[in-house]
Structure 1
């Protein structure tokens, strides 16, 4: 029997996006957490840890406080991924520029790259430097709308007892006018479908209302699209499971996230729940109030 791999979680991302909260949450989950380790020492550090029986889950937090070493991070990750004794996962914590500006103003701190430029200039410069590692990350969490406790719960749901968690699906509706969810694995644009917004009798309601759902789902173009989309998902989902993915987020978007995306997401959640644990959320419904 082959020896079970030890787990290494690399936590990085934008300054102010929640890495401190993440490190505390991971400690609560039994991870040995090391903060601000230079990437050039990552491989050597892991060599020490792998020879100890006291550590099975290690999290390393790396940010631009060590900006002179940050360019070495991708090389270090590549090296560790070739190590048969370690399972490497990279978590990137992100947040929108306006959310980061608000947080820095509240704490009266400055981003690492602010010097002669303004606050936003420093954030933009940092985002540019971090793009390569963000593109390599296994998991991206957007903390723009998350409180500290909500981020902790999301981390627990994602990483606590990771090997024992069954595969699950998060189906989400959203509005493109408010931005695409950054943590979505699959994004489907349904803005080409007939829009109930233009019917005065349906406009005040959402896709949770049966009248709106019927209007969207009963259209011939919707039926054809939906069946093909469902067939595609049922084809690819076993592949995600085989590759070890434990949670898949499917985001369905329309213009405002009120009608079409909600109706499609609801139906998709019902159909996928026949074979998988499914949770459904609607990001934009709270923006609308019935009068």
Structure 2
């Protein structure tokens, strides 16, 4: 808008209510969006009218406008099941192993299975599922009008998934649950004055920086859906880890590495997003990122 840099004429993606006359503005209606107040108003309330462009030339609708379809309630959205895809993969691998052993040893298969351990590559799926289930259960308990969550969302055109998404007054949080029992996450910094600074995520003394790489990709996927108007933050949440008594959480490459209770505190902080916009952002993410 020429007269007001904080206002923009746009076609509404969602139904809204005029802040001046409380008229209903259906999705698809042209209106004025105020970036500061995050409100919309009818074109007729814009001042001066000359800045509105060719609105007067638009032909009136030949039929009366239909009442806008109400947004579905959270119960109607597929919010996903925490750890569902990891649990399915674990069960698939476990069943395949049992079938293979019993097929090769019809008489002793049961005994062999009882006395032998599962492969490590199979156990990690069970460990991952348990972590996602525990964190997701607590997020569901905290959910409400000011905290809406999604679980186990498929990243389009890949086999990868996002463990949890939380839409809050402070923005959108992309959360990856990690259950590394008894292991300590730490930040290792190499280089500096004479060499390029390199930050590495160490877990139990092992280089786990690839977890940061994966999270930054997930954040970019979500940011591509919601745009730059809403902050998007990445979190690696370590459950049952060996955290120090004082502090211990840190940030590297804009990814927060924390324990569950600190994450829950952040998710309940106040911010600029109000419940209607939180619900809209939650719905948009649920529709664009299907359950895995």
Larger radius of gyration: 2
Q: Which protein has greater RCO, CA pairs closer than 8 Å, 6+ apart?
A: 1
In terms of fraction of residues, the more strand-rich structure is 2
Common topology (TM > 0.5) = no
